[in-house]
Amino acid sequence: MTHTELSPARRISDNGISVDCVIFGFDGERLNVLLLRRTGEIGGISFDDMKLPGSPIYQDEDLDEAAHRVLKELTGLSNVYLSQFKAFGSKTRTENPRDVIWLEKESGIKVDRRMVTVAYIALLKIGRSISRELNGSRAIWVPLGTEGSLAFDHNQILTESISQIRRMVALSPDCIFDLLPRKFTISQLRKLYETILQEKIDAGNFYKKLSVMPYVVPLDEKETGTPHRAARLYRFDRVIYRKNHSE
């Protein structure tokens, strides 16, 4: 552990490891991913595509810290659901010249070997504050399915992260509430389930199932501005949830 020529407090590690964040947001209709526009030039021909937000890890931070940093720098948010889900280390994942050139220019690292990346999933609410933060950055919310061809193996990472979300929801449904605003209607929750599970859910049965859950707390407020009967608003109570799921 020689720290002799460590410049400032932080320096980028050159150990070929990065983190990438698959940041999901729900707009009421569809799941969206937060992607970064990437531009560059290779052989006189410029390119313009998208990638998952990510970064090489610093030597003085662990993996989770690196992922939180990426998220914080991009969105300004700290208290966000974020969990590691898989490491990607295909032999060819950093071989595309376009990717290599972009990476070297962006990070200042010489990319002379395969990089391994640890992918994270973040779930957050698409709201005004986050949109304001994103203004002027190169980040865009992209609806799932319309993302096109991404940099590196990011299409694969994205695909696998969606299966991962399905597993997560099946295993501990509480994470779904991270995608909803604090106050939400049963319909919004149902539509979110439907988009994640990719199947229709009977509205009546869903309503009853939810009304039995003690941690989905009805409020004395109603929706406004609907073209039909206003729905009651609910909130998710994490404390009650944990009490029921710790045993």
Partner DNA sequence: CCAAAAGTGTTTCTCATACACCCATGT
Partner DNA sequence: ACATGGGTGTATGAGAAACACTTTTGG
**Residue 59 or 211 with smaller CB distance to DNA:** 211
- Cα(54)–Cα(36) distance, rounded to whole angstroms? 9
| β-pair type (81-88, 116-125) | antiparallel
Member of 107, 155, 156, 187 binding DNA (CB under 7 A): 187
The reply on whether position 112 binds a copy of itself by CB under 8 A is yes
Amino acid at 113: R
Member of 86, 207, 235, 237 binding DNA (CB under 7 A): 207
Min dist CB 97 to a copy of itself, Å, is 9
Interface stretch with a copy of itself, choices 11-19, 46-54, 134-142, 231-239 (CB under 8 A): 11-19
**Cβ atoms of residues 42 and 98 within 8 Å:** yes
The reply on whether position 172 binds DNA by CB under 7 A is no
**Helix 154-171 / helix 186-197 crossing angle, nearest 10 deg:** 130
Structure tokens at 101: 């050139």
**Cβ atoms of residues 54 and 21 within 8 Å:** yes
Output the DSSP codes for 105-152: HHH-----S--EEEEEEEEEE--HHHHHHHTTSSEEEEETT---SBST
The reply on whether position 118 binds a copy of itself by CB under 8 A is yes
**Residue 75 or 185 with smaller CB distance to DNA:** 185
Member of 84, 205, 211, 226 binding a copy of itself (CB under 8 A): 84
Member of 202, 214, 217, 238 binding DNA (CB under 7 A): 202
**Cβ atoms of residues 58 and 11 within 8 Å:** yes
The reply on whether position 247 binds a copy of itself by CB under 8 A is no
- Cα(198)–Cα(166) distance, rounded to whole angstroms? 10
The reply on whether position 13 binds a copy of itself by CB under 8 A is yes
Q: Which of residues 141-170 bind a copy of itself (CB under 8 A)?
A: 167, 170
| β-pair type (54-56, 17-26) | antiparallel
**Residue 39 or 226 with smaller CB distance to DNA:** 226
The reply on whether position 105 binds DNA by CB under 7 A is no
Per the listing, tokens 């290599």 go with 100
Site of interaction with a copy of itself (CB under 8 A): 1-2, 13, 15-17, 57, 59-63, 84, 86-91, 95, 100, 111-114, 116, 118, 167, 170-171
Q: What residues line the site for DNA (CB under 7 A)?
A: 185-187, 202-205, 207-209, 211-212, 222, 226-232
